[in-house]
């Protein structure tokens, strides 16, 4: 079972706020919806997606030929610091403190987003 996002360490500067699809989120197509509607009581879940894939359907992102299970998730780290990421020496130790849980959860890695300042909203 994947660790919950609130199981990851949190500091005043850094916290895991979500996950993000890599290389991109899996994109549902009309064929996936038809499969769910016709064969899965309208439930568009993993079974419906994989059944559609067995019939040749793939991710709907143009040029993507990856199956659903080949799309991974990365952890989204929110950084509350105005400095450039390369100028934040505390970032690397924070990410290393999350590493074991990230490996346990089979996450592909980390993606970083800066927290919006109140005056920038």
55-107 pLDDT, tens digit each? 999 999 999 999 999 999 999 999 999 999 999 999 999 999 999 999 999 99
pLDDT of residue 118: 62
Instruction: Indicate whether 12 and 41 sit together in one domain.
Output: no
In a domain, residue 89? The reply is yes
In a domain, residue 51? The reply is yes
Measure the CA angle with vertex 100, ends 98 and 105; round to 5°: 95
Overall domain count for the chain: 2
In a domain, residue 121? The reply is no
Whole-structure pTM value: 0.78
Neighbours of 18 (CB within 10 A): 13
Residues of the domain holding 49: 26-70
For residues 79 and 85, is the Cβ–Cβ distance under 8 A? yes
Residue 38, burial from CB neighbour count under 10 angstroms (0-12, 13-18, 19+): exposed
CA dist., res. 27 & res. 60, Å (int)? 5
Instruction: Indicate whether 85 and 111 sit together in one domain.
Output: yes
Instruction: Indicate whether 10 and 45 sit together in one domain.
Output: no
pLDDT of residue 2: 82
Provide the pairing of β-strand 14-22 with 110-114: unpaired
CA dist., res. 54 & res. 39, Å (int)? 13
């Amino acid at each position: 079972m994947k660790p919950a996002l609130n199981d990851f360490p949190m500091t005043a500067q850094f916290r895991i706020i979500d996950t993000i699809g890599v290389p991109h989120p899996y994109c549902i197509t009309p064929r996936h919806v038809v499969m769910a509607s016709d064969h899965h009581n309208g439930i568009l879940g993993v079974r419906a997606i994989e059944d559609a894939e067995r019939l040749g359907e793939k991710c709907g992102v143009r040029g993507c030929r990856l199956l659903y299970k080949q799309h991974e998730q990365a952890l989204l780290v929110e950084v509350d610091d105005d400095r450039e990421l390369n100028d934040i020496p505390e970032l690397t130790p924070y990410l290393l403190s999350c590493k074991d849980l990230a490996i346990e959860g089979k996450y592909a890695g980390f993606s970083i987003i800066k927290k919006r300042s109140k005056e920038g909203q």
